Structure 1
Amino acid sequence: MIRKEIGSDWEIYMNRFFLQDNFYFFRSCRDALNYIAHCFKSNIEVVLPAYSCDSVITPFSKKEDNIKFYGIDNNFKFLKSEVEGLCEKADILLLIDYFGISCVDEEFLKKIKNKNPNICIIIDKTQNFFGDIWYYEYADYVVCSLRKWFSLPDGGLLVSKNKLDIEFLNDDSFYNLKLNAGFTKYEYLHNLCDDKSYFLDASKKADTILSKMDNYAISDFSYFKLLTYDISQIKKIRAGNFVYLKENMTDVNISKIEACENSLYFPILTKNRDVLQQYLSENNVYCPVIWELDPEQRMYGKCGYLSDHILCIPIDQRYTLDDMEEICYKINCFQEKNS
């Protein structure tokens, strides 16, 4: 029941999702993974998905560590028997929830733990923030890049099965650059300035700072902003955008990837990906490739094929169904010209 009052002081909304037990907030998801990596001795064996970005791989890339990759198929599913074999003597296993789809069930995690009780299992939910499961009986950690989902200059989430004693550090250099870049982008979009080079350059400089990883904490600005977000409303907007694209993008030259409305993006596969991406950017629609892979990673399963053909369409809470309609129109126009 909501009480009704008129007048007096303003109320302040605060969501309680981010106040749960064993939620730890880092500057970035990369810093959170780096914390986990440093909980282990050197010369550890790490099992990672070949279809992943540098932010996942770099924290485990110390010279003395041994990284073993596993592949995925065209539906972003891994072969369970392959992963089981790799994990028999491994210290760490990392799994990714691709495009809103939970990567495993508890029975699979239990099987891994039964064969190797000391293995540390990490679930990366950066592409599935709105997925229901945040605590797993047989997974040790869940991580997520918060700044991919919200208007934040910094933020990475680590959820632990057990209470942690983390000595956080503070470094505002990344936060300051990203905050200034965000403010400048707002001014550019609202015609308060004409030069977009500053916020692009500032973002690039900020990204180089992330290469220096440590237990850096999220900024106070980003943490308190997180607490003010209406999570249910954001989820509703994103789901509506996802469903619209799913129902209205019907071009035969585009394959829709198995994904759900919790996804970070709306992913598609297309043969002329690079040309389509360039065309959309020329029309002010910026669709990232998730991800460009190095030659070794491309060798596993269908990773090379997916990296060459995938394009990810933004569906976040900044945008409306009118924006989704415009994206569909532009893609249809492109396909008509190139058919």
Structure 2
Amino acid sequence: MNPIGGYYGLELPKGAFSWHNTPYTFKSGRSSLHYILQLTKPSLVYIPFYTCNGLLDSFEASNTNYLFYEINHLLEPDELPDLSPNEYFLYINYFDVKREFIGTLSEKYGDKLIVDCTQAFFMKGNGRSWFFNSCRKYFGVPDGSYLYMPNHIHSNLPAVKNEQYIVSHLVSRFNGHAREGYLSFLENEVLCGPEIAGMSKLSEYLLSHINYEEVIDIRYANYNYLDTVFTEQHLFPPEPCDECVPMVYPVLLNKFPNRKSLAEQDVFIPTFWTDVKDRKHPGFEIEKLLTAHLLPLPIDHRYNLGDMERMVRLIKHLP
């Protein structure tokens, strides 16, 4: 029932832009993964050690067993397991530069492959395997994830849209107060947990107003500029893929990067992922090296070449 009278709400006419063509939307990547695990009920899922603990939340919520595997310097497993009945293999499209390898995995595993595209918003499903992403890792929205299923699998949409979110961090950043909104950002991250719920109406509206082609062009321009500066320190040679839209520019330094010094100059570089070094597992040396030394430099649509130049100067003068 539409209430009549009273105060006004947000004026949010639906926009004309879209990128994804799946009806399956969820409140977060963790929520999408929880839904996949609940639907497929695997006996075991192989997952990369180089991931955040947020991924593990979905396994705990669905009571699903998992086993870590190692990756090499190309961010690929050295050995691929032969899956037993009802076992699945999960792979992360790191920084959206692993599409060709994912094609190989999809040919091998079919609907037993789950592709985590939380670092690859622009990748769509291929009809053979499972794909899910995360909207708020790419855009200023409170929640959201798109899920692609194998073509032969059909299921019901989530019955309830997410209403458990906050937007004060988005408003703070919009008003130029990024530091002040950080605690609210962390609060909202907790709300974007593995519970199964559909994407919020607010995120659906906001995402319909984004010019995705323009966003992609800006990412390419920023990435290409950084590549002229850091090509010798690039994490690994990118795949020859015209459709890849890199999330970041990954620079691997030969020393521990001083993120605190950069943050003091309002350059905030994330760590992928502190959870890795905190796990008490022997081995996994490449994963721990990446966590300690990798600088995933922002290249998104909020920044221009002048911003890239300032970031480069600060990095080159790190203590």
Q: Displacement of 1:322 after TM fit? A: 0.4
What is the CA–CA distance in structure 1 between the aligned matches of 2:57 and 2:14, rounded to whole Å? Answer: 39
Q: Displacement of 1:62 after TM fit? A: 5.3
Gaps (5+ residues) in structure 2?
1-12
Q: In the alignment, which residue of structure 2 is the partner of 1:126?
A: 118
What is the CA–CA distance in structure 1 between the aligned matches of 2:36 and 2:14, rounded to whole Å? Answer: 35
Is structure 2 residue 215 aligned with structure 1 residue 216? Answer: no
Letter in 1 for 2:159: F
User: Deviation string for 1:8-28 (max 9, x for gaps)?
Assistant: xxx98512423x2x3411111
Q: In the alignment, which residue of structure 2 is the partner of 1:327?
A: 311
Is structure 2 residue 85 aligned with structure 1 residue 94? Answer: no
Seen in structure 2, the aligned counterparts of structure 1 residues 209 and 225 have a Cα distance that, compared at 3 Å, is closer
Q: In the alignment, which residue of structure 2 is the partner of 1:27?
A: 27
Q: In the alignment, which residue of structure 2 is the partner of 1:280?
A: 262
Is structure 2 residue 144 aligned with structure 1 residue 155? Answer: yes
Is structure 2 residue 292 aligned with structure 1 residue 308? Answer: yes
Letter in 2 for 1:304: K
RMSD, matched Cα: 2.6
User: Deviation string for 1:41-95 (max 9, x for gaps)?
Assistant: 4x7211111111122222113595321111111221222xx2223x234522211
Letter in 2 for 1:291: W
Seen in structure 2, the aligned counterparts of structure 1 residues 306 and 187 have a Cα distance that, compared at 3 Å, is same
Q: Displacement of 1:129 after TM fit? A: 2.5
What is the CA–CA distance in structure 2 between the aligned matches of 1:127 and 1:165, rounded to whole Å? Answer: 26
Q: In the alignment, which residue of structure 1 is the partner of 2:3?
A: none
Task: State the SS of the aligned residue for 2:203.
Answer: helix
The count of aligned residue pairs is: 298
Seen in structure 2, the aligned counterparts of structure 1 residues 298 and 230 have a Cα distance that, compared at 3 Å, is farther
Letter in 2 for 1:270: L
Letter in 1 for 2:237: E
Seen in structure 2, the aligned counterparts of structure 1 residues 316 and 24 have a Cα distance that, compared at 3 Å, is same
The equivalences for 1:185-196 within 5 A come to 185-189=173-177, 196=179
Q: In the alignment, which residue of structure 2 is the partner of 1:74?
A: 73
Q: In the alignment, which residue of structure 1 is the partner of 2:6?
A: none
Task: State the SS of the aligned residue for 1:136.
Answer: coil
What is the CA–CA distance in structure 2 between the aligned matches of 1:126 and 1:40, rounded to whole Å? Answer: 20
Letter in 2 for 1:155: G
Is structure 2 residue 224 aligned with structure 1 residue 243? Answer: yes
Instruction: Indicate conservation of the 8 Å contact 2:51/2:273, yes or no.
Output: yes
Q: In the alignment, which residue of structure 1 is the partner of 2:17?
A: 15
Task: State the SS of the aligned residue for 2:309.
Answer: helix
What is the CA–CA distance in structure 2 between the aligned matches of 1:13 and 1:62, rounded to whole Å? Answer: 35
Gaps (5+ residues) in structure 1?
1-10, 114-118, 190-194
What is the CA–CA distance in structure 2 between the aligned matches of 1:63 and 1:28, rounded to whole Å? Answer: 15
Is 286-295 or 58-67 further displaced after alignment? 58-67
Instruction: Indicate conservation of the 8 Å contact 1:84/1:112, yes or no.
Output: no
Instruction: Indicate conservation of the 8 Å contact 2:37/2:62, yes or no.
Output: no
What's the TM-score once normalised by structure 2's chain length?
Answer: 0.84
What's the TM-score once normalised by structure 1's chain length?
Answer: 0.79
What is the CA–CA distance in structure 1 between the aligned matches of 2:75 and 2:125, rounded to whole Å? Answer: 22
Letter in 1 for 2:227: K
